[in-house]
Amino acid sequence: QVQLQDSGGGLVQAGESLRLSCAASGRTHDLSTVAWVRQVPGKEREIVAAISWSGPSKGSRYYDDSVKGRFTMTRDSAKNTVDLQMSGLIPEDTAVYLCAAKRSGAYHSTLLFEYDYWGQGTQVTVSS
């Protein structure tokens, strides 16, 4: 079992930055990937960033094209935390952001059903 606690959301103006954090606990060594997923009401969840947790690709990152160059995902293995540094925020980034993790599957896979564990979500609102 893995538990995820995400935090750091808030209300910001377009062009500003925000840093989200995810604290993982439990059997994190069994994980393949940790990701940040966002949810807009009435729409499907989408993976915006992911990091490989183990294996030959450990540390490799995936970013959705919509956030590439603006968002950066980092990992602190000692603290068992994952951050999402969000820069140049735009109103389209407004969503609930959730930390997610899976035990198997490639880090760059965008298949949401592969994810086994989820944080509670933190709201990010970007005003224009």
Does pLDDT of 77 surpass 90? no
Quote the pLDDT of residue 20: 98
Positive or negative: CA dihedral 7, 117, 69, 56: positive
φ/ψ (deg, to 5) at 123 = -80, 130
The CA distance from 35 to 29, in Å, is 15
Mean pLDDT within 40-63 = 95
Quote the pLDDT of residue 51: 97
CA 66, 10, 24 angle in degrees (round to 5)? Answer: 80
Does pLDDT of 82 surpass 90? yes
Give the pLDDT band (50/70/90) at residue 34.
Answer: very high
Quote the pLDDT of residue 73: 98
Quote the pLDDT of residue 14: 98
Mean pLDDT within 13-39 = 97
The CA distance from 14 to 109, in Å, is 29
